């Protein structure tokens, strides 16, 4: 582990910064939180409830000698609470346990789609409340504080390869992640002049407690996903943590309004399952 002096000397260091990472008790969010702590940043975890996974992630963050706290909140309540009120409550809760947040990672999200012809308004609204409304208003709340205090804040969204590519039975989810990609571009134009940097990271398929149950128990699914990924890998969520640190760090100080895909090349491969008899014999560019 590097010393505090080594971390401070690196453009990738987050020493002196404090981050809120929503949806960070497990999966991609946990990987981001642990990577921030490893880079020297204090971190406030967020989840629906305190459980064993939350305590495990807290312990992993604290082993790097930083302050790590936890707040619990539902960012997409089914009652009539507005997205603005929900964002206000979470921001106040975070301020009470870890003041001085200057890094916001909007990671919390959900996938609850049914096939399009069966999709319900309830599931659609839940998807949009958590995947779009929550990051919009949380960013607004923290940006207001940063502008008033003269803080050079940094915002990172967790988008998805599905914001660019489509899958059957993912219509609401894909629409929400497409909205996140557009939001990042517009927030760049609105907030960069105020010294606030906004970017997005868009993972492809990575192993998490949710996806691992499928990949580990179905060899055909695992082979299929590797076939459609040029580097042939389906890594764990740690690859997202390292990318998040880069985008939040001074090393990315001139990167604004971008979505960086962390997908092993999946999004650029036009014909991954071309029959062997056609490889090298078919010019698909014309």
Could you list the active site residues?
Answer: 173
Q: 10 Å Cβ neighbour count for 118?
A: 9
How far apart CA 257 and CA 123 sit, in angstroms, is 29
- CB proximity list for 71: less than 8 A, separation 6 or greater: 44, 45, 46, 90, 93, 94, 97
Query: Is residue 282 within 8 Å of 274, Cβ to Cβ?
Result: yes
Instruction: Note the helical H segments in the chain.
Output: 4-9, 27-38, 52-62, 83-97, 121-128, 134-149, 171-191, 209-215, 219-227, 238-248
């Amino acid at each position: 582990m590097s010393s505090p002096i080594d971390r401070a000397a690196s453009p990738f260091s987050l020493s002196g910064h404090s981050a809120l990472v929503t949806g960070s008790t497990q999966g991609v969010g946990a990987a981001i939180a642990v990577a921030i702590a490893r880079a020297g940043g204090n971190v406030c975890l967020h989840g629906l409830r305190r459980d064993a996974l939350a305590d495990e992630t807290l312990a992993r963050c604290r082993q790097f000698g930083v302050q790590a706290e936890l707040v619990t909140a539902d960012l997409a309540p089914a009652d009539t609470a507005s997205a603005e009120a929900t964002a206000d409550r979470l921001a106040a809760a975070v301020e009470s346990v870890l003041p001085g947040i200057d890094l916001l990672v909007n990671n919390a999200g959900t996938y609850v789609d049914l096939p399009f012809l069966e999709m319900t308004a309830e599931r659609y609204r839940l998807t949009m409340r958590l995947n779009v409304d929550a990051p919009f208003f949380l960013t607004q709340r923290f940006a207001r504080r940063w502008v008033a205090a003269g803080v050079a804040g940094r915002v990172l969204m967790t988008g998805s390869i599905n914001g660019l590519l489509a899958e059957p039975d993912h219509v609401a989810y894909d629409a929400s992640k497409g909205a996140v990609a557009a939001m990042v571009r517009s927030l760049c134009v609105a907030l960069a002049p105020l010294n606030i940097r906004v970017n997005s990271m868009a993972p492809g398929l990575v192993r998490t407690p949710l996806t691992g149950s499928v990949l580990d128990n179905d060899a055909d699914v695992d082979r299929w996903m590797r076939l459609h990924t040029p580097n042939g890998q389906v890594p764990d969520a740690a690859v997202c943590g390292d990318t998040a640190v880069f985008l939040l760090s001074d090393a990315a100080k001139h990167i604004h309004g971008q979505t960086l895909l962390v997908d092993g090349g999946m999004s650029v491969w036009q014909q991954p399952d071309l029959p062997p008899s056609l490889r090298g014999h078919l010019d698909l560019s014309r």
